[in-house]
Chains A and B, each alone.
Chain A
Amino acid sequence: AQSVTQLGSHVSVSEGALVLLRCNYSSSVPPYLFWYVQYPNQGLQLLLKYTTGATLVKGINGFEAEFKKSETSFHLTKPSAHMSDAAEYFCAVSAGSARQLTFGSGTQLTVLP
């Protein structure tokens, strides 16, 4: 079984400030981890994924995430927030032969001018 916990349902940052969205996972087998972003009235867009290999993963729009096995974490960061980053962010895990994604509850990011 696998699960994802996103700490903080709402995060607010000032434009230009660091963005940090937290994600912790639980999995009995090596996990595959994903971050998705959802803008209003749109579907989910893949930001980045961790499968194997390098633990620091770079994604689109300047986002990156670091896989830390010892902490079972996959936090999403961006050095400088932009107004266009305001959206809902979902962390997700899949593991083993199942093709199912298990989503976290989501974090709404607000960027203040």
Chain B
Amino acid sequence: DTEVTQTPKHLVMGMTNKKSLKCEQHMGHRAMYWYKQKAKKPPELMFVYSYEKLSINESVPSRFSPECPNSSLLNLHLHALQPEDSALYLCASSSGGRLSNQPQHFGDGTRLSIL
């Protein structure tokens, strides 16, 4: 069992739909991340939230909109996605702080398919 919970596990949506991915952690971590992973590739960083503020946006298209309602929750709002956005979307968290020696803990991901 992972300590980072992502819902839904699978999502199929059309290019005109609006949907949201959800991520929750109860480890008291103050940094949360969204990654995109294509098959047979390493995860690619999309967004980083630190103490509930967006600290890094890796030039992600605006059709992806992150939100951090509180320190335990992270959402990724999706709108007007393209077929190439089909991928595994991973959420991760870490204890944050100034040093980067704390490992990130990953959820099992949401597998997204765009029709």
Question: How many B residues face the partner with a CB closer than 8 A?
Answer: 29
Whether A97 touches B103, Cβ cut-off 8 Å, given contacts A44-B90, A106-B40, A106-B41, is no
Say which one of B65-73, B79-87, B104-112 lies at the interface with A. Answer: B104-112
Size class of the A contact interface (CB-based, 8 Å): 20 to 34
A104→B42 CA distance, assembly (Å):
7
What 0/1 readout, one digit per residue, does chain A (85-107) give for beta carbons within 8 Å of chain B?
00010100011111111011110
Whether A97 touches B43, Cβ cut-off 8 Å, given contacts A42-B108, A44-B106, is no
Question: Is A100 a contact partner of B56 (Cβ separation < 8 A)?
Answer: yes
Tell me whether A46 is interfacial, beta carbon within 8 Å.
yes
**A interface residues, Cβ below 8 angstroms from B:** 32, 34, 36, 41-46, 49, 51-52, 88, 90, 94-101, 103-106, 108
